[in-house]
Amino acid sequence: MNNYEKILITGSTSKLGVRLIEIGSILGLNLIGVNLSSPHSKYKLDLREKDSVSDFIKDYNPTYLIHLAAITNANYCEDNIDDCMEINYRTTENLAQACNDFGVRMINISSDYVFDGLQGPYSETDSPNPLNQYGKAKLLGEQILARRCSNSVSIRTNVLYDWNENSRRISFLTWLIKTLKKNKKVTIVNDQFSTPTYILQLAKIIIDLLYTDYTGVINVCGSEWINRYHFSVLAAKIFDLDCSLVCETNSSEFYQSAARPLKGGLKVKRIETLLGEKMFDCEQGLNLCKKFYDNEMDVAKWLKKK
């Protein structure tokens, strides 16, 4: 690991981006955030502008690029297809071409929404069949990256969670715990299955993957296949809250523009074999979240324990 190599991150103010920047700082890496507009970003760049992207990559001359920038709201993507394609596909295409032209290794973040959710969890060799515009754009991004930039990785992941009150965006877990602490009931679907992903572990693995020669698609997520209701009940237990406040329903009770893959989630054998590291189950990840909540853990301490 060469600490003088430049690592660019798009979408660096996202929940995942904030943790990547934090880990990079602790490890002494030269890791720089790039965003369209943000007070937290040193560099401003419109990823939709192909020539600007090419000029920036050429002038800044990074060794690695981690592409996080995306519109992740599936309902918005369904109702705003042009925006979805522009941000979730075209930006990946522009970056892939520039990275290939200037010899930059690129990591792109994708999703289990590239699958239809009929027979999850899915391995890297299963055939994609997205149900919604978000999934379609992410799949196109994977495909164009593989064609345009051979030294690249598309990481499929899903349902990111963490406890980080410094994040400018509230997460599902933060919303859940703060709502339950007010003794308010929450209603959670019991028919959407995934493999929830602890953000800190994902962030560290992204950095580790930069320094491998792996290329292509790889799943990086939690090891436990669970529905949202049972994940929420487990979180309530670990945070010592009233589990009876968590009420279950099914997704048919909610109108959503974008169809969801009900039996989604991903298998993690490949990443565990590649890096020799076990992915966390939900209890492990949520227990760490509770330690962050109680100020018994921080990122530097967690990295030392690894």
Sign, CA dihedral 272-275-278-280, equals negative
pTM, to two decimals = 0.95
pLDDT profile of the chain (306 residues), mean per 10: 80 92 94 71 82 94 96 96 96 97 98 96 97 97 97 97 82 94 96 96 97 97 97 98 96 87 97 97 98 95 88
Backbone angles phi, psi at 10, to 5 degrees: -85, 155
Tell me what pLDDT residue 2 has: 55
Tell me what pLDDT residue 111 has: 98
Tell me what pLDDT residue 74 has: 96
**What does the alpha-carbon distance between residue 180 and residue 178 come to, in Å, rounded to a whole number?**
6
Tell me what pLDDT residue 263 has: 96
Tell me what pLDDT residue 3 has: 56
Label the pairing between strands 64-67 and 6-10.
parallel
Q: Where are the domains of the chain?
A: 6-305
Angle formed at CA 170 by CA 167 and CA 171, multiple of 5 degrees: 105
Reduced 3-state DSSP string for the chain: CCCCCEEEEECCCCHHHHHHHHHHHHHCCEEEEEECCCCCCCEECCCCCHHHHHHHHHHHCCCEEEECCCCCCHHHHHHCHHHHHHHHHHHHHHHHHHHHHCCCEEEEEEEHHHCCCCCCCECCCCCCCCCCHHHHHHHHHHHHHHHHCCCEEEEEECCEECCCCCCCCCCHHHHHHHHHHCCCCEEEECCCEECCEEHHHHHHHHHHHHCCCCCEEEECCCCCCEEHHHHHHHHHHHCCCCHHHEEEECHHHCCCCCCCCCECCECCHHHHHHHCCCCCCHHHHHHHHHHHHCCCCCHHHHHHHC
CATH of 6-305, one of 1.20.1250.20, 1.10.443.10, 3.40.50.880, 3.40.50.720: 3.40.50.720
Tell me what pLDDT residue 41 has: 55
